[in-house]
Amino acid sequence: MATTSLSSIPMPKRHVVVDWNQFVKASEAKGGALGGGQFPPLSSHFSNPTTAAKQPPSSRFRRHHSIPSVAMMAVHLHSGRATPPNITASNPIDQPYKFQSTLYIQNNGLQELKSWRAFVGFRHGELLVSASNAVLLDGSPLPANVSNGTVFTGYPTTDLKTAIETAGDLAQMSVRVELVGTEFGVSPEDFPLPSNISLANDGFICANSTMQGNTSMSTCCIRDPNARTTINATEQFLPRQSGDLSIMYDVISAYESNYWAQVTISNQNQTGRLDNWQLSWEWMRKEFIYTMRGATPYKIDSSKCIFGDQAKFYQSLDLSRALSCEHKQTIIDLPPTLANDQTLGSIPYCCRNGTILPSTMDPSMSISSFQMQVYKMPPDLNVTIFNPPQNWKINGTFNQDYKCGNPIRVSPSLLPSPNGLPVQVEAIASWQVVCNKTQSSTRPPKCCVSFSSFFYDSVIPCKTCACGCPNPRQEQACNATANAIALPSYALLIPFENRTKITTEYARLKHIPISNNLLPCGDNCGVTINWHLSSDYRKGWTSRVTLFNWGDTNFSDWFVAAELDKAGVGLERVYSFNGSSLPGDSSTIFMHGFPSGNDYLLGQVNGSNPNKDPKRPGTLQSVILFDKKKTPGINVARGDGFPTKVIFNGEECSLPTILPINSASMVSSNNSMYSLFITLVLMFLLH
C-alpha cells in the first residue's frame, strides 16, 4: 500500500511508530562476530515495554486515547565480518555479510489491528533466511530475495489487541519479529539502514521514516480519516478480498488432536482458467494429513510420520495409513471417475481433473473443492487451536502463473448442510487466500495471433519466437532476431518445418529480403489464432476467427476472449461459437464451443499420406458479425477491426506488431470488389 507523507502534520506521541535501530559490534579483531548480546532499549519516543508496563493503565490510556494508533519499531543489527566461512569477493559490491534484525510492532490505539502488515524497504541485496512470528505477505518461502523491499504479516499471531481490552498486556498488544539474513556490498563500518519502514495495512498513513540516533529509524502511522472501510471497531474479522482466485480454508469439524478442513478454490476472473491445477502450501506446526476426500497429495508417503516426532506422540495411531507427512504439500485433483466414490469422492465440486473454468462460461465449473483430516502436534492440542498452512501457491499446465498471499482470518463461511437439509451450516473458523495472475518477463506466451484482411493479399504471421526460440542445436538453423515474413493464406495450415520452400518463394515474389539467407524462426506456439477481417460495409463489418492446435493434446471446454477497444461494443452475433460480450466489459468478446458440438479443439493429426503429406492441425472457425450503429466513427480497415488483446484458455497470446492495412492494396481491392458488383448487376439485368 502506498503511504501518504505526513511530514507537515504534527504527529502525536502515541501513533504508529516505526524505528529501525542498528548497531555495529566490535571489529573482528576484538571478537566482533554476531552472536549473543542484548538489544538496547527501544526508542525513547516509543513506549518502552518495561517502563510502560509499570505505568498505571489509566494514565497510559489518557496519553493516547484521542487518536487511534499503532506503534511499530524495527531494530537492526549488523556484523562487521564476512559471511562464514569468511567468503570474500574481489568486488566489494559482491561481498556478503550476515545481518540480524528485530521488527517490533505495538498497538497503541483504541481499535484492534487485524492482520498486521509491515513494510521494510531493504536495499542492500538482502537474502532473508529466517523470520520469527511472521511470514512474507506474498507467500514466498524462506530463504527469499527481499532486496527490493518486502511486506511481513503475522504468524501465528496475526492481530494486535488494544491496551484497553488487555489491561496493557504488551504480550497481546505487540509482536517482535527476529530476522536473520545476508546482505551485500556494505562496509563493516556502515549502518545499512533500509530506505523506509511503514505499516502496510489499508487505511493507515505514515510519516516519513526518521533516524533515532545513528543506529535506528522510526515512523509514526495513524488511521487515515478519509479512508473508506466496510468494517467497524466491533467486528471481529476482516472483510473478504477479491482477486483472480479466492481460496477458502474452512474448519468444518474439530477435535482436540485433529480437525477436518474444507478447501474451496473459486475462479473470480472472467477470463481466467486452471487446467490440472496443483495447489501447494507449507505446514508450520508439524501438522500432517491423515485422510482426504475430493483430492490427493501428489506424493503419498507416511515415512516422515513413522520415523518423526509424530510417532513419538501418536503411539496408538496407525501412521502407516497417513496420506502425507511432508512439510511442503502439493495437492492435485481427482479424475471424474471418482466423483461419486463414497471413500475418496462425494464432495461437491470435486474430481474434475483439476479443471476450473470462468464463471461466465459455467458457474458450476468455476469452483473446485476437497476435504482433509489434519492432525496437530503439541502444544496445539486444543479443540480451539487451528493454524492454517502458509506460503500458498497454485498453477496449471496451460495457464498464467499466480501469486498468492497468506491466509487472512475472515468471518466463518456458510456451507451446505452435509446431511442434505435445505439449510446452511456455519464453519467453525475460516481463512481466505487471494491469488492474482502475474506477468513473468522470462516466461514466454503459449499462444499467438496472426492477422489478415480481405484487402491485403498476405497474412501477417505470429512474431518470430513468439512462444520462445528453438533449441540452437537443432539441425534446421533459423534467424531468431529477424521479423517474421508475410505468408500466403494457405500456409497457415502447414506446419512451420514444412513452410521453408513456400516462405522462400513468397519472399522472392514480394521482394522481401532474407537476412544472411537465413529464414526467421517460427513462433513455436502450440496454439495459433488467425483473426481475419472479412468485410467492411456502410452498416457493419465481419471478421473470421480460426483456431489452430499444433499440439498432440486435445483442448476440452476451450475459450477465447478478444478485446477490441473501439469496435467490441458493436458485436451483433457469433455464428459457429457460443459468443457474447463479457458482463461489465462490452469491449471484450468471449467465445467458446457448444456442448457436444465444437467444445473440443482436437490436436494435430497425420496427413492422408504420412510419407509425403505434412501433419494437419486441429481447427475450429467462426464468423463474427458487427453493427456500426453503436460504434460511429470507427475505422475498421485502419486498425479498429483488429483485437488489442487475445486470451486463449486464460493465457494471453502474443500479437503481431504490425497490421495488414496497406492503403494501396486496400484501394485496389475495394475498386475490384466494386467492379465485380457492377458486373453481377449487369448480368442480372441482361437475363
Q: 556-579 pLDDT, tens per residue?
A: 999 999 999 999 999 999 999 999
Looking at the structure, tell me whether residues 427 and 459 fall in a common domain.
no
CA distances from 197 to 16, 336, 360, 369 (A): 11, 50, 42, 39
Q: Residue 411 pLDDT > 50, yes or no? A: yes
Q: Quick one: average pLDDT of 652-667? A: 74
Helix or strand holding residue 685 (H, E): helix 663-686
Looking at the structure, tell me whether residues 40 and 114 fall in a common domain.
yes
453 domain residue, yes or no = yes
686 domain residue, yes or no = no
Buried b (16+ CB within 10 A) or exposed e, 318-333: ebeebbbbbeebebbb
- Name the 3-class secondary structure at 320: helix
Predicted local confidence at residue 352, as pLDDT = 95
Looking at the structure, tell me whether residues 202 and 297 fall in a common domain.
no
Looking at the structure, tell me whether residues 410 and 340 fall in a common domain.
yes
Q: Quick one: average pLDDT of 450-474? A: 87
- Can you give the CATH number for the domain in which 262 is found? 2.60.40.290
Q: What is the mean pLDDT of the chain?
A: 82
Q: Residue 644 pLDDT > 70, yes or no? A: yes
Predicted local confidence at residue 661, as pLDDT = 81
CA distances from 343 to 76, 261, 290, 294, 354 (A): 53, 16, 13, 9, 19
Looking at the structure, tell me whether residues 290 and 423 fall in a common domain.
yes
Looking at the structure, tell me whether residues 433 and 455 fall in a common domain.
no
The answer to whether 527 touches 550, Cβ cutoff 8 Å, is yes
How far out from the chain centre does Cα 78 lie? 34
From 438, 466, 487, the end of a domain falls on 438
Looking at the structure, tell me whether residues 451 and 365 fall in a common domain.
no
Predicted local confidence at residue 273, as pLDDT = 94
3-state helix, strand, coil in the chain (%, to 5): 15, 35, 50
Predicted local confidence at residue 664, as pLDDT = 44
Q: Quick one: average pLDDT of 145-173? A: 90
Predicted local confidence at residue 404, as pLDDT = 93
Instruction: Please tell me the least confidently modeled range out of 37-41, 116-120, 384-388.
Output: 37-41
The set of residues, in sequence order, having a beta carbon less than 8 Å from that of 342 and lying 6+ positions away, is: none
State the pLDDT confidence band at 323, using cuts at 50, 70 and 90. very high
Looking at the structure, tell me whether residues 549 and 574 fall in a common domain.
yes
646 domain residue, yes or no = yes
Mean pLDDT: which of 369-373, 394-398, 404-408 is highest? 369-373
Q: 69-96 pLDDT, tens per residue?
A: 655 555 544 444 445 555 666 677 778 8
* DSSP character string of 349-369: T--STT-B--TTT-GGGSEEE
Spatial distance between the Cα atoms of 72 and 219, rounded to a whole number of angstroms: 8
Predicted local confidence at residue 672, as pLDDT = 38
Looking at the structure, tell me whether residues 119 and 263 fall in a common domain.
no
Mean pLDDT: which of 165-169, 470-474, 555-559 is highest? 555-559
Residue type, 176: R
487 domain residue, yes or no = yes
From 414, 438, 462, the end of a domain falls on 438
228 domain residue, yes or no = no
The DSSP output letter for 628 is: G
Count of domains observed in the chain: 3
Q: Residue 381 pLDDT > 50, yes or no? A: yes
683 domain residue, yes or no = no
Looking at the structure, tell me whether residues 389 and 451 fall in a common domain.
no
Looking at the structure, tell me whether residues 385 and 498 fall in a common domain.
no
257 domain residue, yes or no = yes
Give the range of the structural domain holding residue 282, as residue numbers without chain letter: 245-438
Q: 477-504 pLDDT, tens per residue?
A: 888 888 999 999 999 999 988 888 899 9
Q: Which class for 563: exposed (0-12), middle (13-18), buried (19 or more C-beta within 10 A)? A: middle
Phi-psi category of 524—alpha, beta or left, where left has phi over 0 and alpha has psi -120 to 50? left
State the pLDDT confidence band at 416, using cuts at 50, 70 and 90. confident
- Name the 3-class secondary structure at 31: coil
State the pLDDT confidence band at 472, using cuts at 50, 70 and 90. low
- Name the 3-class secondary structure at 385: coil
Q: pTM of the prediction?
A: 0.78
Q: Residue 526 pLDDT > 50, yes or no? A: yes
State the pLDDT confidence band at 514, using cuts at 50, 70 and 90. confident
From 384, 409, 438, the end of a domain falls on 438
Looking at the structure, tell me whether residues 299 and 207 fall in a common domain.
no
578 domain residue, yes or no = yes
Predicted local confidence at residue 217, as pLDDT = 76
Q: 229-284 pLDDT, tens per residue?
A: 555 445 578 889 999 999 999 999 999 999 999 999 999 999 999 999 999 999 99
The answer to whether 492 touches 459, Cβ cutoff 8 Å, is yes
